[in-house]
Structures are given as structure tokens and as C-alpha cells.
Amino acid sequence: MIMIRPFRPVLDRLTAAGLRPTRQRLALARLLFDSGDRHVTAEQLHQQAVGNGVKVSLATVYNTLNQFTASGLLREVAVDSRRSYFDSNTELHHHFFNQDTEQLIDISGDAVAVSHLPSAPDGTVIDGVDVIIRVRAS
């Protein structure tokens, strides 16, 4: 099945999220959203931006990733207690995590079924279900 994600120019996304489309945010948004689903750390995105001639500081990359996540443009994936990974795919889905290369690979939401979900502890509601399949070189 081919998923067509509603195309949305990055500028629209930013303004819709209430974020001023500054030069840095536009450049980072293009890197994140204009080439399919991506999984990046702040350091990786910063390197890529700088490599593409975008002048942006690492601090701004961190702030931008956090703002994008808070606005729902990105999703944070907890796989490693050392660093944060940000996922440009915000739809329901899961991940393979290659422990050798430290790379994430999407698993579409309906490729995995989590059944018999126990009910949340008293006084709590379910906020999300993360499935991470850890793999390593065979």
C-alpha cells in the first residue's frame, strides 16, 4: 500500500503551528519534511544543515526540534538513554532499532498488532503505545 501523505509546504506547516518561518526553521523543516520520513538526532541534523550551507547553531537546532515536537510536527522516540531521536513521521507506527548502526526504521502502524492491551492503572489513561524491535547484525 502506498501512503500519500497530504503535501504541505513547510512554510504553511510552520505558520499553522504558530511558529515564525525564520530562515533557520525553514531550512531545518525542509531537511526534515521534504524527503520522506526521517529519524534524526540534534547533532545529525545540525551536521546536515551545516553541510548544506545553512548557518544555524546547534542550540537553535535543539530548540527547533523541541518546538516542532511540542507543535506536533515531530515525534520523539525513546530508544536510547543517551540521546533523543526525532521522527518526522507523526502517524501511528512503530520502529526497528538497529543496535549496531543506531538507526531507526519505521514499521507501519498496521504491520504490528498489539492485542490484549491491559487497561491502564487506576487513575491513568493511555497516552500512546511504543513498540521498539531491537535488531542487530546477524
Partner DNA sequence: GTGTTTGCAAAGTGTTTGCAATTTA
Partner DNA sequence: TAAATTGCAAACACTTTGCAAACAC
> Interface mask (CB under 8 A) for its own copies, residues 82-101, using x and -?
xxxx----------x-xx--
- Cell of residue 47, nine digits: 551536521
Distance separating alpha carbons of residues 129 and 95, to the nearest angstrom:
12
Q: How far apart are the first and last CA of the chain?
A: 28
Among residues 30, 37, 48, 60, the one that binds DNA under rule CB under 7 A: 60
Is 67:20 a contact under the CB 8 Å cutoff? Answer: no
What type of residue sits at position 91? E
Among residues 14, 74, 79, 104, the one that binds its own copies under rule CB under 8 A: 79
Of 20-28, 43-51, 60-68, 109-117, the segment contacting its own copies by CB under 8 A is: 109-117
Sites of contact with its own copies (CB under 8 A): 76, 78-85, 96, 98-99, 105, 107, 111-118, 120-121, 123-138
